[in-house]
Amino acid sequence: MVSKFEKLKADVIGMYARNRQQGHAAWAKTDYDFVCPSAVTYPFQWFWDSCFHAVALTHFDIERAKSELRGLVANVHEDGLLSHVTFWQRERYEEMLSTYAIAYRSPYLSDCIQPPVIAEVTEMVVERGGGVAFAREMVPALCRYYDFLDRTRDPDRDGLIAILQADESGLDHSPKYDAYRGMKNGADPAEHDAMWHRAADAYKAVGRVPEKMFALDVFVVEEVLVNAIYAESLGALGRLCKLVGDEVGAAEYKRRAMKTTDALVQKCFDPDAGLFYDLAGLKEAPQRVSTVSCLIPLVLTELPGSVVDRVARHIEDPKGYAAKYPVPSVAISEPTYSAGAIFKLVWRGPTWINTNWYVARGLRRHGLTNLAAKVEASSVALVEKGEYREYYNPETGEGYGAPDFSWSALALDLAHAGGL
């Protein structure tokens, strides 16, 4: 009998052939070869998407897993930024670009971050056959990038980095930002556009200089998913440094990983709720909205056992995240929770495979195998029909958003982890 893993693998190979983008970029004087998130709606290279694609690629083409990550570091900026979108072949899609809300550094590179997943995934690629030579190749750009985040995104030096726009968290329209942004109706796309412009226009006026953007205090959020991923990746970068013989780097990134983990526990964890909350504004006001990001620190191995138990309880709670197809992006009991799609607004309730990937891995790391297996099986069930959609209804499993959505192929990694 063909395992679920083998069946999914065949599907993903087909989808990754359809979404593969290859060519020569004259502007960068280099060839590119990457998987785009969806050929229909997102033909460019997105940062955290490509990291997830690299994970899926480790199961059938390690060379392409490498080229996916090489594409991300190929245009590292002078200050260390890795752009959240690289518009390798933008000339072909000028019309589509007019519908995007993006802040640019150059016509080909955005001036935003996304959750900094890359060191963690580089380590995975190295371990799954990429080899030490690949670590050696990647480490210099990775160090520049994580140093950039430390230097420019943590002005209060508490170990938590801040995002300056909601979409820097990758969770663009999450209801957890509604109150902080003073929104009247979080289900109104026009209000989201207005909010994006409120910050972007103010940043433009001060030349997008990080210190000045922070001083404006229009959108400064020490966001939990970003920081959990940051801590996880700093730990991975420390190990990569060690692997390539850089003992100083190894100690330094390990220290930073611990500092961020401690800050998440000390400053973001709410012991009454048993959830990790974002801190908003220069005053660091906790945003008490239960969304999937509150659970993502589970991935951190160093998390105290008592904290793990409190957080994991929400995943089994029917009022929390125990939907038929977990894990919804917003807790079921939140007034803003919507199982269905609301226009093109994202992260307001539906289940996503990438956050499931984090939650399931976290649960496994802490020995909560049964619960991890549930999340793995449900993720596999969602894509099993061959529909790799952007997100899914947590109650019915119906798929929404972009078709042929590449990061939903993380279900393949989840099938592997669960022995499915």
Write down the least CB distance from residue 373 to ligand GLC, Å.
26
- Distance, in Å, from the CA atom of 129 to the CA atom of 244, rounded to the nearest integer, reads 16
* Dihedral in degrees, nearest 10, Cα atoms 183, 188, 189, 190: -70
Write down the least CB distance from residue 128 to ligand GLC, Å.
23
Write down the least CB distance from residue 39 to ligand GLC, Å.
12
Residue 117: name the closest of 38, 228, 277 by CA: 228
Write down the least CB distance from residue 405 to ligand GLC, Å.
7
Closer of 42 and 321 to ligand GLC (Cβ): 42
Could you tell me the two tokens for 42?
A: 């997102």
Write down the least CB distance from residue 141 to ligand GLC, Å.
20
- Three-point CA angle 357, 323, 359, nearest 5°: 20
Closer of 111 and 172 to ligand GLC (Cβ): 172
Write down the least CB distance from residue 228 to ligand GLC, Å.
15
Residue 56 belongs to what H/E stretch? helix 47-57
Could you tell me the two tokens for 252?
A: 């330094």
The neighbour count for residue 133, using CB atoms within 10 Å, is 11
Closer of 89 and 261 to ligand GLC (Cβ): 89
Given 3-state DSSP classes, what are the helix, strand and coil percentages for the chain, each rounded to the nearest 5? 50, 10, 35
Which residue's CB comes closest to ligand GLC? 170
* Beta carbons within 8 Å of 207's beta carbon, 6+ residues apart: none
Closer of 176 and 259 to ligand GLC (Cβ): 176
Write down the least CB distance from residue 225 to ligand GLC, Å.
10
Write down the least CB distance from residue 172 to ligand GLC, Å.
4
Residue 34: name the closest of 78, 79, 85, 81 by CA: 85
The residue count for the chain: 420
Q: Collect contacts of 177-185 with beta carbons under 8 A, ≥24 apart.
A: 177/221, 177/287, 178/289, 178/336, 179/287, 179/289, 180/219, 180/221, 180/280, 180/281, 180/285, 180/287, 181/219
Write down the least CB distance from residue 247 to ligand GLC, Å.
35
Closer of 101 and 209 to ligand GLC (Cβ): 101
DSSP annotation string for 379-403: HHHHHHTS---SEE-TTT--EESSS
Residues that bind ligand GLC (CB under 6 A): 37, 42, 46, 48-49, 170, 172, 346
- Distance, in Å, from the CA atom of 333 to the CA atom of 354, rounded to the nearest integer, reads 22
Look up residue 336 and give its amino acid: T
Closer of 181 and 256 to ligand GLC (Cβ): 181
Write down the least CB distance from residue 85 to ligand GLC, Å.
8
Write down the least CB distance from residue 346 to ligand GLC, Å.
5
Whether residue 102 contacts residue 199, with contact meaning beta carbons closer than 8 Å, is answered with: no
Closer of 322 and 346 to ligand GLC (Cβ): 346
Closer of 172 and 252 to ligand GLC (Cβ): 172
Closer of 49 and 123 to ligand GLC (Cβ): 49
Closer of 34 and 42 to ligand GLC (Cβ): 42
Closer of 5 and 88 to ligand GLC (Cβ): 88
- Distance, in Å, from the CA atom of 9 to the CA atom of 170, rounded to the nearest integer, reads 26
Residue for token digits 């409190």?
Answer: 310
